[in-house]
Amino acid sequence: MTAPARTPARTPARTGTPEPAASGPALVEGRGPLSRAVVAALRGGPPADAGAVAVPGTDPWGEDLHLALYLLYELHYRGFAGVDDALEWDPALLGLRRALEDRFLHALRTATADAPATVAEAFGPLLVEPVDPGASLSHRLETEGELWQLREYAALRSLYHLKEADPHAWVIPRLSGRAKAAMVAIEYDEFGAGHPDRVHARLFAGLMADLGLDTTYGHYLDRAPAPLLATVNLMSLLGLHRALRGALVGHFACVEVTSSPGSRRLARAMRRCGAGPAAEHFYAEHVEADAVHEQVVRHEVIGGLLADEPQLEPDVAFGCAATLLLEERLAAHIRGAWDQGRSALRRL
């Protein structure tokens, strides 16, 4: 299979380990009435509020809702170039965000209503390799993935990995004792253990440079489809709400438990396709680090949290179930596109 015409244009590889740009990314155009109203408000137009757009009838998995949510959440990260920082706490935008969150969260809870409600049941199946390797994108990329597919996968994942660990840091002041100490220890590793060149977001920028991708923070937002935006929005949703702290811990644990074996396969894929040393190193780094993190997060973060607040166990399980649901939806989107010989990125 040859690369689809819509694969991101390759840029010259860069030397060294690039640092993701500190300034906010450029604001993109909307994909429907919700996101267009948000964009207009961020550009200084009339306030966007929940009463001005039809939130209740909007597709909770669709492009419009998830771009609108992503734009509103990004105000709490780096914002956007030319957008007033004060809009982070604009009452009308916060009201709209809450309405969008309610729509998304209701859909997540409905879709996971039959999922396990205990930590043991939720995480047990994740501790073994999947029975059907064909359902796993990392298996597919390891054995038959092509370089253009690795580049698309990295472009999509950049919306998370260039802010890796940031949304999970919001839970730290909401934890105590064992759970807080363990969470800080894991985040310390994610942020480079005191070495800026080892910050995982910077390592991912190095991977992108090896693949000839643009390493600018948020560069591929316009190309990211709703299933990808939803995976990033979930972390922001759970991180920004103290009431969802148990679900954020469940999400974080799910990511760490599944990361090491998936990273091993992706490191092999990068090596097989000749992607470059930085591309292989990013995933190789996660094989060892996340194998350790998986033990710490299950026994100390979850264990410590539930020792302090046992009533949060269903929330932890929900966080895991919601993560798996959205990852499966994203994988289905990517597999469907690649099976048809086309790009998984949005057409512009």
> Which CATH code fits 119-339?
1.20.910.10
Of the spans 24-28, 224-228, 285-289, which averages the highest pLDDT? 224-228
Using alpha carbons, select from 219, 267, 201, 162 the residue that is nearest to residue 25. Answer: 219
The pLDDT, as a whole number, for residue 15 is 42
Question: Does 166 or 133 have the greater pLDDT score?
Answer: 166
Residues 6+ apart with CB under 8 A from 310: none
Question: Residues 72-93: what's their mean pLDDT?
Answer: 95
Give, for 334, the enclosing helix (H) or strand (E). helix 313-339
Whether 75 contacts 41, CB under 8 Å = no
Give, for 189, the enclosing helix (H) or strand (E). helix 177-190
Q: pTM of the entire structure?
A: 0.91
User: DSSP per residue over 193-244, as a string?
Assistant: TT-GGG-HHHHHHHHHHHTT---STTTTGGG--HHHHHHHHHHHHHHH-GGG
Beta-strand ranges (E) seen in the chain are none
The pLDDT, as a whole number, for residue 290 is 64
Q: How far is CA 226 from CA 65, 97, 235, 344, in A?
A: 8, 17, 15, 11
The token duo for 20 is 């993701």
CATH 1.20.910.10-classified regions of the chain: 119-339
Q: How far is CA 238 from CA 91, 106, 151, 199, in A?
A: 20, 13, 29, 23
DSSP letter at 199 equals -
CA distance 55 to 99: 7
